[in-house]
A and B are shown apart, each in its own frame.
Chain A
């Protein structure tokens, strides 16, 4: 079963979702979010940072 919160997200338009995701950026920065992706040993690029 899909949760109500997820259904609400699905029901938004693409533009609304994009705008909501931009708002999350402020939270991301506030909590010291890192621009680099989480380490992912399954990624083909995991070991190649110069």
Chain B
């Protein structure tokens, strides 16, 4: 039997008091949108002290960089991700990806204020990116992130639908990507839907129960976000290629 290396790695970050939010697949598991993830993705506070703690935790895991660039405050603040693979025997092979800022998301201190904390047995109290922020973080150019967004919202509606606060209903109406659920939300909360329709025109069709047009407009929303993500990454990819070429030249 091979135990998962995830608990050991997470407890190492906790022990070193790294100011970090769990994002990516592990966060999606906790929120119900995924069943399995083979790596750990963290959004970290970019400060000299926190990066020192992070480096110590990575050192304890014998984590080596596997992509450009090297970990630094500068690259994290510019939007790059730093990628590591653990070498220590009990966590060997585990991938850890570190981000400092993400497209469309607030600066880390605000994300931290909105975090969820979950006590995980034999690990400790883990800080997880708040659900609305995680949904925004998942609006990428990658196909695989979009079904995840749909399930993040579905799971939240399933859990919280008995007596939701208005803020939560607004979140669902703004982010839900399941046509039949949108129709049912709009029917159940027509007044709130009316206040949001200016920002999300497809709600008009949800109120009419027109599933085909909702589907079409959901696709347009997705395409728009994918384009924005590609635009965001274009200069960063160019920079990565430049570093890689320089690295290969050395």
Which residues of A from 9 to 42 have beta carbons under 8 Å from B?
Answer: 9-12, 14-15, 17-22, 24-26, 28-29, 33-37, 40, 42
The contact of A49 among B66, B144, B151, by CB within 8 Å, is B66
Give, as a whole number of angstroms, the nearest-CB distance from A9 to chain B: 6
The contact of A15 among B31, B85, B93, B121, by CB within 8 Å, is B121
Chain B residue with the shortest CB-CB distance to A17: B29
Contacting pair A18 B38 (CB below 8 A): no
Contacting pair B95 A35 (CB below 8 A): yes
List, in ascending order, chain A residues with CB within 8 A of B34's CB. Answer: 21
Chain A residue with the shortest CB-CB distance to B116: A14
List, in ascending order, chain A residues with CB within 8 A of B43's CB. Answer: none
The contact of A25 among B4, B31, B95, by CB within 8 Å, is B4
Give, as a whole number of angstroms, the nearest-CB distance from A35 to chain B: 4
CA distance A24 to B25 in the complex (A): 14
Chain B residue with the shortest CB-CB distance to A40: B142
Give, as a whole number of angstroms, the nearest-CB distance from A45 to chain B: 6
Which applies to chain B's interface (DSSP): helix, strand, loop or mixed?
mixed
Interface residue B191 (Cβ < 8 Å from any Cβ of A): no
The contact of B118 among A11, A15, A37, A48, by CB within 8 Å, is A15
Question: Count of A-B contacts with CB under 8 A?
Answer: 97
Chain A residue with the shortest CB-CB distance to B141: A42
Chain B residue with the shortest CB-CB distance to A12: B32
The contact of A24 among B36, B83, B119, B244, by CB within 8 Å, is B36
Give, as a whole number of angstroms, the nearest-CB distance from B226 to chain A: 9
We find that the number of chain A residues with CB closer than 8 angstroms to chain B is 34
List, in ascending order, chain B residues with CB within 8 A of A17's CB. Answer: 29-30, 32, 35
Q: Say yes or no: A35-B38 contact (C-beta < 8 A), given A14-B30, A22-B6.
A: yes
CA distance A25 to B92 in the complex (A): 14
Interface residue B155 (Cβ < 8 Å from any Cβ of A): yes
Contacting pair B67 A26 (CB below 8 A): no
Contacting pair B37 A21 (CB below 8 A): yes
The contact of B39 among A18, A37, A40, A49, by CB within 8 Å, is A37
B139-169 vs A, Cβ < 8 Å mask (1 yes, 0 no): 0011110000001001100110000000000
The contact of A18 among B30, B85, B240, by CB within 8 Å, is B30
Interface residue B48 (Cβ < 8 Å from any Cβ of A): no
The contact of B236 among A24, A44, A49, by CB within 8 Å, is A44
CA distance A29 to B46 in the complex (A): 34
Interface residue B81 (Cβ < 8 Å from any Cβ of A): yes
Interface residues of A (CB under 8 A from B): 1-2, 6-7, 9-12, 14-15, 17-22, 24-26, 28-29, 33-37, 40, 42-45, 48-50
Query: 4 closest Cβ contacts across the A-B interface?
Result: A25-B4, A35-B93, A14-B30, A29-B2
